[in-house]
Amino acid sequence: MIGIVQAFAPTYARARTQFLEAAATASLPIESHRHPLLGRDGEDLAMDVVRDGPPDADKLLIVSSGCHGVEGFCGSGVQVFALHDQEWRDLAHAQGVAVLYIHALNPYGFSHLRRTTHENVDLNRNFHDFRQPLPVNAAYREVAPLLLPDAWPPQADNERAVQAYIAEHGGAAWQAAITRGQHEFAQGLYFGGTAPTWSNQTLRAVLRQHGRRASRVGWIDLHTGLGPSGLGERIYCG
Ligand SMILES: [Zn+2]
């Protein structure tokens, strides 16, 4: 067991080191899937995978971090702490549950303190069947020029246009237009991409390797950015 504060790191590079050290301390093998680019400080980037439990376990719990890059600081801390928590590990073993820790689904965003991947993709909006037509976000089309105006920083006329949109449609509609995700503007916000990203393809390979033999799979994907500070909140259950 380590202290809670010790489990958290100030950079991606440090977070990765702590995760790898925690796996080594627990005598668990590490699978590293190398990212094609380097990090903010020139460090290697990877999606690191550690499995705690037998390869043929019927019950699998996945604990993943860094879907939204910079949000990985919290998820990594949870993973590092859990790997050092012998009581938790013994409990999972006794229940026949294998735990699969996936560190940094989006290592590029984690290191560069960005929400998106190096393809400017919002990763949890990237899991579509790309052979099918992609959803169209007509409202985003309307607000796209307001979000990324030609002049930067935005000028007064841009601010007036944003306020006019909100006055006409309401703040909730403004937010929904942006955060629903879109597949049309590759430079824009909440871009879901037009093809599977590196993270999508790598994660699918990890799941093919580790998920096939389990008949029951639970998955906790750790995020931050919503809700009160320091409070765990189940934002989606399905
Ligand atoms: Zn998130």
pLDDT (tens digit, 9 = 90+) per residue, 96-112?
999 999 999 999 999 99
Ligand 1 center to 217 CA (angstroms): 21
pLDDT (tens digit, 9 = 90+) per residue, 163-187?
999 999 999 999 999 999 999 999 9
CB 106 within 8 A of CB 123: yes
Q: What is the pLDDT of residue 237?
A: 87
Ligand 1 center to 27 CA (angstroms): 30
Give the helix/strand (H/E) hosting 35.
Answer: strand 30-38
Architecture per CATH, domain 5-119+197-222, reads as 3-Layer(aba) Sandwich (3.40)
CB 75 within 8 A of CB 65: yes
pLDDT (tens digit, 9 = 90+) per residue, 53-94?
999 999 999 999 999 999 999 999 999 999 999 999 999 999
How far is 17 from 9, CA to CA, in rounded Å?
Answer: 9
Q: What is the pLDDT of residue 133?
A: 96
In the chain, residues under CATH classification 3.40.630.10 are 5-119+197-222
Q: What is the mean pLDDT of the segment spanning 30-35?
A: 98
How far is 137 from 165, CA to CA, in rounded Å?
Answer: 16
Ligand 1 center to 3 CA (angstroms): 25
Ligand 1 center to 201 CA (angstroms): 19
